Chains A and B, each alone.
Chain A
Amino acid sequence: MTSPGDVNGEMIGSPFDDATAEALLRGTLHPDDAPPGTREIATLVRAAKAEAGPDELGGQEAMVAAFVAAAPGPQVVTPLTVERRRRVLAKALTVKGAAVTAAVLFAGSAAAASATGSLPAAIQARVSSGLAHVGISLPSPSSQANGHAPGTQGAAAHGAGQAGGPQSSQAVGPSATGPAAAGLCTAFTASGQSTQTNGNSTAFRNLEAAAAVAGQTVAQYCAALPTSSGSTSDSGGPPSSTPGNASPGSPSSSTPGNASPGGPPSSTPGNASPGGPPSSTPGNASPGSPPSSTPGNSGGHGASGSH
């Protein structure tokens, strides 16, 4: 509808020069300094860019866990990580009784599975298949068994160990996830089918996250699970750990560390968007200038703590 040739005509008579427009949209123009008629814009832009509100950080734990799980190589373990996980576990153990004890132990194993370099199988499978059609390759659950076993000295495995979980690096792979889901669902049912009252539990957040990723409520998600744990193979529920029945479309040979070797996720088959297909290719957003990783980066973040 517009052509670049319109640019000059459009600018004539406009109350904005480029710098003003830029400052307005970036939110760097204070309303008091805004030209006439733009004060409201400046105010709204700044309000729209406000920091996180109370309902805008849902799923944080699950996403952070996924970040950690997706990282190549040995996981970074900080004392804080271990300590925090232990606190969460201890709290859950004292509050919710036996059902949650089981759930937490299973959650610990799920987290440990994350430390091996994979997401919990249910999430992983869903994500793998869900992302396949946008051209993003993620390892399928079956690939995690021989993925990053050495990484289990990581934080999650640590945490599980301290909680009394009998997890080892071999045991916390895919096989833990089915029972984990079942255990969480058992606890969920026992707690009156409300994740609200368990909102602070890492275990239930994991369950909620898994359900959310599957596009279901927790109740639906649990209903789809087989009733007896450990027999999830052919149930039609979340993908089991059995290699070979991974979600379609995800190469089972991929490993977490090389999900898209050499290929930034810029190829996006099926990305036709009615509003205009995004042609963005992240890899060339700043050609040749990937930010260099400076040693000591990770240590610095503890100070700016977010919790």
Chain B
Amino acid sequence: MDDTDLTAALEAARSGDEEAAAILFIALNPPLLRYLRHHVSGVAEDLAAEVWLGVIGGLAGFRGDLAGFRAWMFSIARRRVADHYDSLERRPRLVELDGSEEIPERLDAAEPVMAAMAAQDAVEALVRALPPDQAEVVLLRVLGDLSVKEVAELMGRSPGSVRVLQHRALKRLAVRWEHGVVTR
């Protein structure tokens, strides 16, 4: 499903086309769910449903293209995550992650194993060693398919600072794997 098809699907879905709505859901729910499962594994499905209903509820007033739609969807997702942790009176993993939490053995995999990883495992393997702000940038860029500018808007940062964060993240990951942290 390339973006051209998805753009058409978005337009048709807005006018009530059932197939198009399904296409949109099939393309965008998995990355949305992966993002939510990373942050709030237990209630990710519930929050995903709320995000979709939020999107659908605001669709009539939405003016934008596919990229804008994705950014909007993930901005709602971020709010739902924050709301969820607010309701628990706990700090979200957005700022909580310190690298000390338990890491499933299977995520320390060699590259050929990575290629066959389930998407969620790949997500966790990608960001688990990163500080929360770097992880969030990577998550939004990879799963949200958002640009630096869009991520900057969502995170309330400047594009330059997002670029810094993503370079630090990539560098950290490269060093990590280059130095044989991963063993077979």
Give residues in A with beta carbon < 8 Å to B.
1-4, 6-7, 10-11, 14-16, 18, 21, 24-27, 31, 36-41, 43-53, 56-60, 62-64, 66-68, 70-73, 75-76, 78, 80-81, 119, 123, 127-128, 130-131, 134, 136-138, 155, 209, 212-213, 215, 256-265, 268, 271-286, 289-294, 297-298, 300-302, 304-307
Shortest B96–chain A CB gap in Å is 9
Cβ of B88 under 8 Å from chain A = no
Shortest B142–chain A CB gap in Å is 5
Contact B111 A40 (CB under 8 A): yes
Interchain CB contact (< 8 A) of B53 among A52, A123, A257 = A123
A4 vs B145: C-alpha distance in the bound complex, in angstroms? 23
Residue of B nearest to A63 (CB): B52
Contact B61 A260 (CB under 8 A): yes
Contact A57 B171 (CB under 8 A): no
Task: Return chain A residues, CB-CB under 8 Å to B160.
Answer: 3-4, 6-7
Task: Return chain B residues, CB-CB under 8 Å to A213.
Answer: 46, 49-50, 53
Contact A2 B61 (CB under 8 A): no
A37-B174, A212-B45, A291-B7 known; A298 vs B163 contact (CB < 8 Å): no
A40-B114, A306-B26 known; A294 vs B82 contact (CB < 8 Å): no
Contact B85 A155 (CB under 8 A): no
Task: Return chain B residues, CB-CB under 8 Å to A258.
Answer: 60
Residue contacts A-B, CB under 8 angstroms, 16 given? A31-B111, A41-B177, A56-B29, A63-B56, A70-B60, A71-B14, A80-B19, A131-B54, A136-B57, A138-B53, A260-B60, A265-B61, A273-B82, A274-B82, A291-B66, A294-B8
Task: Return chain B residues, CB-CB under 8 Å to A63.
Answer: 21, 25, 29, 49, 52-53, 56
Shortest B174–chain A CB gap in Å is 4
Contact A10 B153 (CB under 8 A): no
Interface of A is mostly: loop
Cβ of B65 under 8 Å from chain A = yes
Residue of B nearest to A216 (CB): B46
Task: Return chain B residues, CB-CB under 8 Å to A256.
Answer: 60
Cβ of B17 under 8 Å from chain A = yes
A67 vs B23: C-alpha distance in the bound complex, in angstroms? 12
Contact A64 B21 (CB under 8 A): yes
A67-B13, A71-B14, A76-B17 known; A45 vs B64 contact (CB < 8 Å): no
Residue of B nearest to A55 (CB): B33
Rank and list the top 5 A-B pairs by shortest CB-CB distance, nearest first. A71-B16, A285-B68, A260-B61, A4-B160, A275-B94
Task: Return chain B residues, CB-CB under 8 Å to A75.
Answer: 16
Contact A264 B61 (CB under 8 A): yes
Shortest B43–chain A CB gap in Å is 9
Residue of A nearest to B19 (CB): A301
Task: Return chain A residues, CB-CB under 8 Å to B142.
Answer: 25, 27, 45, 48-49
Residue of A nearest to B122 (CB): A47
Q: Which of B14, B15, B17, B153 has the most CB of A within 10 A?
A: B17
Shortest A61–chain B CB gap in Å is 9
A72-B60, A276-B157 known; A265 vs B72 contact (CB < 8 Å): yes
A41-B174, A50-B119, A56-B30 known; A64 vs B18 contact (CB < 8 Å): yes
Cβ of B103 under 8 Å from chain A = no
Task: Return chain A residues, CB-CB under 8 Å to B57.
Answer: 70, 127-128, 131, 136-138, 259
Q: Which of B81, B115, B143 has the most CB of A within 10 A?
A: B115
Contact B119 A289 (CB under 8 A): no
Contact B16 A76 (CB under 8 A): yes
Residue of A nearest to B38 (CB): A48
Cβ of B40 under 8 Å from chain A = no
Contact A43 B68 (CB under 8 A): no
Task: Return chain A residues, CB-CB under 8 Å to B125.
Answer: 44
A25-B138, A37-B174, A60-B29 known; A291 vs B18 contact (CB < 8 Å): no
